[in-house]
Amino acid sequence: MLWIKAFHIVFVASWFAGLFYLPRIFVNLAMVPADSHAERERLLLMARKLYRFTSLLMLPALGLGLWLWIGYWGSYAGGWLHAKLFLVVLAVGYHHMCRALLRRFEQFANQRSHRWFRVFNEVPVLLLIAVVVLVVVKPF
């Protein structure tokens, strides 16, 4: 089980690294002048590739997490595990929201400012902090 836990941590950290950086690309995309087509296309290419790569990292992170969860099935882990699972659902939702935002940029339909994306960029940091605290401290 320790090997599963170790690889789960590696894939979660890698997945979240992508979630930290992808919205930063959105900040830059929101700031691109309308006449700067080359810069816009370069940032879109970066965002598409990062989203795909991050999606590939998310799958083993979730799969290994499910494996660990099944390992807890026989014993009561406590309320912290339910809270963690809720935050994981939020992280997956955030991941998919990034895809929707990327589509808006691709369709020239973005209506949000770079300031909004700067705030949006902080969400995965807060999610990761909360998950780590729940897993390590197990407050309830």
Average pLDDT over residues 120-125: 97
Cβ neighbors of 18 (< 8 A, separation 6 or more) are 50, 51, 53, 54, 57
60-118 pLDDT, tens digit each:
999 999 999 888 776 777 889 899 999 999 999 999 999 999 999 999 999 999 999 99
**Model pTM?**
0.93
Is residue 132 within 8 A of residue 83, CB to CB? The reply is no
**Secondary structure of residue 110 in the 3-state scheme:** coil
- Find the helix packing angle between 2-31 and 79-106, rounded to 10°: 30
12-27 pLDDT, tens digit each:
999 999 999 999 999 9
Please report the pLDDT score of residue 21 as a whole number.
98
- How many domains are there within the chain? 1
Range of the domain at 71: 2-137
Of 93, 102, 91, nearest to 30 by C-alpha is 102
Q: How confident is the model at residue 1 (pLDDT cuts 50, 70, 90)?
A: confident
Q: Please give the radius of gyration of the chain, using alpha carbons only, rounded to the nearest integer.
A: 17
Please report the pLDDT score of residue 71 as a whole number.
84
Is residue 132 within 8 A of residue 80, CB to CB? The reply is no
